[in-house]
């Protein structure tokens, strides 16, 4: 079976505003261009897959069921704008906070590549033709370790990142990042 190219996306600070451990639905504010960026990803024949660290679970700020609620809300809002996300993958762990089973040195917390590798396996994704977009260097590192080059966005915490050697491209926001991917495909 033919494998799909994808765009892996960080969540907080990349598709919606970074509020620091989003723990209430009313804090969820998608960026104005997120739906357009996702429609563009789809038009390119790529899957859009969220890859997100959610250590707020391990830290006791919210439960995993709340993450499901947030992800359903994101899907509902996007659907109204003709956009969608094909998969949500999260790491609820933290190596030092909370209690087991969430307190553990897992292989899925970015910058580790575990979530991307799992998504690729389950969704039949060709990582070598895929990209990872995020607002932190650990997003880029996770992509690179999995085999997908990273694009840094300057939204969220991205404005503070000084290390620009690792990302393949630095974009002001998600839509610009996706347009850049589209340009690469055209050449």
Query: Which partner from the list Mg ion, Zn ion, none does 10 bind, CB cut-off 5 to 8 Å by kind?
Result: Mg ion
Nearer to Zn ion, 106 or 170 (CB): 106
Residue labelled with tokens 């340009």: 183
The verdict on 97 binding Zn ion (CB under 5 A) reads: no
Residue nearest to Mg ion (CB): 13
- Which tokens in the block code for residue 23? 């723990």
List the one residue out of 121, 117, 95, 120 whose CA is nearest residue 106: 95
Query: Which partner from the list Mg ion, Zn ion, none does 12 bind, CB cut-off 5 to 8 Å by kind?
Result: Mg ion
Q: Is 12 a catalytic residue?
A: yes
Residues in Cβ contact with 18 at an 8 Å cutoff, skipping those fewer than 6 apart: 12, 135, 155, 156, 157
Q: Starting from the edge strand earliest in sequence, which strands make up the sheet with 131-134, in order? A: 87-91, 47-53, 6-9, 131-134, 150-153, 169-171
The verdict on 91 binding Zn ion (CB under 5 A) reads: yes
Q: Is 10 a catalytic residue?
A: yes
Nearer to Mg ion, 98 or 156 (CB): 156
The verdict on 109 binding Zn ion (CB under 5 A) reads: yes
Please give the Cα distance from 100 to 17 (Å, whole number).
30
Give whole-number Cα distances, 125 to 5, 45, 60, 117, 135, in Å: 6, 12, 33, 9, 22
Residues that bind Mg ion (CB under 5 A): 10, 12-13, 135, 156
Q: Please report how close the Cβ of residue 93 comes to Zn ion at its closest, in angstroms.
A: 3
Nearer to Zn ion, 95 or 159 (CB): 95
Counting every residue written for the chain, the total comes to 187
User: How many other C-beta atoms lie within 10 A of the C-beta of residue 31?
Assistant: 19
The verdict on 49 binding Zn ion (CB under 5 A) reads: no
Question: Which residue of the set 12, 86, 135, 139 is catalytic?
Answer: 12
The verdict on 67 binding Zn ion (CB under 5 A) reads: no
Query: Which partner from the list Zn ion, Mg ion, none does 93 bind, CB cut-off 5 to 8 Å by kind?
Result: Zn ion
Number of residues in contact with Zn ion, rule: CB under 5 A?
5
Residues that bind Zn ion (CB under 5 A): 91, 93, 106, 108-109
So which residues are the catalytic ones?
A: 10, 12
């Amino acid at each position: 079976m033919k494998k799909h190219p994808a765009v892996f996306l960080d969540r907080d600070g990349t598709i919606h505003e970074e509020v620091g451990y989003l723990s209430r639905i009313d804090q969820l504010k998608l960026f104005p261009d997120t739906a357009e960026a996702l429609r563009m990803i789809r038009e390119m024949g790529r899957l859009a897959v969220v890859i997100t660290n959610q250590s707020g679970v391990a830290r006791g700020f919210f439960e995993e069921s709340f993450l499901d609620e947030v992800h359903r809300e994101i899907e509902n809002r996007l659907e109204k704008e003709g956009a969608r996300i094909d998969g949500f993958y999260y790491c609820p762990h933290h190596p030092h906070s909370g209690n087991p089973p969430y307190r553990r040195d897992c292989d899925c917390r970015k910058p580790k590549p575990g979530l991307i590798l799992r998504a690729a396996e389950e969704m039949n994704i060709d990582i070598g033709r895929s990209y990872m977009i995020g607002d932190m260097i650990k997003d880029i590192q996770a992509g690179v370790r999995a085999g997908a080059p990273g694009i840094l966005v300057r939204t969220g915490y991205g404005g503070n990142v000084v290390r620009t050697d690792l990302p393949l491209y630095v974009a002001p926001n998600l839509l610009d990042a996706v347009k850049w991917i589209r340009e690469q495909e055209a050449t």
